[in-house]
Amino acid sequence: MKNYDLIIIGAGAAGLSAAIYAGRSLLSTLVIEKFSFGGRVNDTPRVINYPGFKEISGRDLINEFRRQAENFNTNEFTYGTVSKIEKIGEGFKLITSRRREFFAKAIIIATGTYAKMINVPGEIEFAGRGVSYCSTCDADYFKDKDIHILGSGDLALEEADYLSNFANSINMIIIHEEGNFDGNELEVKKIKENPKISYTWHSKLEGIYGDDRVNSLDILDLSDNTNTRVTSDGVFIFAGMSPNSEFVKDYLDLDDFGFIVTDDCMRTSVEGIYAAGDIRQKPLRQIVTAASDGAVATVYAERYIRNRGVR
């Protein structure tokens, strides 16, 4: 079992920011990532609100994060899924799903979130066959198609704008009354000016149907409870995010939605364990706030490591 000063679980914006601060603090650090370095930032086609970049793709931005984090020879990186954390003496043992074990004096959890499913008929059956949660991943499959988007938050609006470069038409299914979006005004203005985008207001998605691929949807009009079946070549679902916190649900304090509870210093309910980024309970989930969380978490983790037991 290899020993480290610090283990960072997750290599999105928060985790890589934490690794950069760990590197400059000369902490022996292991970063463990489950899927792909950058996490959901990779799925963002266009970032216009990160300081220093007028416009950049999420993938290019996170590659800058990664290159900087890899520049420190005290940082190591590996792929794996952490399944359990145990308190062992003066530190913590991490066990992965493949039974690898690592030991650290402190831990930063930066595992982020995943797209929330809405559990309507056909959603699971047609996942990858007309049901998608990521435009960057799947936009090419919908070239010249007539598709739907569920949601009206920032992500849904950004994805609608991006998908309009591929799809023939896009109809957004929005639960609110006409004209009421959940996203920021800049994105609202942009999609209102996009001739490919239309809206079905005060409605919700009730079912997804097809043969080999999606060919129709059931949409419920909430004003009169009428259900209408419409033709569709696919649907992108942006119904919010759920935290990747299942592996610590019996170990750390979580809020009612499963997000890790921290204080302003990113400290969790267990001394020596910190949380950063979208995984923690917070009012704003953005790349810039995730990066900030990662920096704060490492600063306080370093203090904990250097002054064992002093909070």
Q: Are residues 231 and 250 in the same domain?
A: no
Q: What is the pLDDT of residues 137-147, one digit of tens each?
A: 889 999 999 99
**For position 295, what pLDDT does the model report?**
98
> Residue 206 sits in which domain range?
131-237
Boundary of a domain, candidates 177, 203, 237: 237
- Which residue, chain included where needed, has tokens 């690794």? 19
Q: What is the pLDDT of residue 46?
A: 80
Please count the structural domains in the chain. 2
Average pLDDT in the 162-188 region? Answer: 95
Instruction: Report the chain's mean pLDDT, rounded to a whole number.
Output: 94
pLDDT, one tens digit per residue, over 28-81 is: 999 999 988 988 888 787 888 899 999 999 899 999 999 999 999 999 999 999
Residue 310 pLDDT level (bands cut at 50, 70, 90): very low
The verdict on residue 293 lying in a domain is yes
Looking at the domain assignment, is residue 209 inside a domain?
yes
pLDDT over threshold 90, residue 240: no
Quote the pLDDT of residue 311. 41
Q: For residue 239, which of 136, 140, 147, 114 has the smallest C-alpha distance? A: 114
Residue where a domain terminates, one of 221, 237, 253: 237
The pLDDT of residue 100: 93
**The CATH number of the domain where 68 resides is what?**
3.50.50.60
Shared-domain flag, residues 250 and 104: yes
> What would the pLDDT profile of 146-156 be if each residue is shown by its tens digit?
999 999 999 89
Q: What is the pTM of this model?
A: 0.84
Same-domain check for residues 8 and 46: yes
Flag whether 29 is in a domain: yes
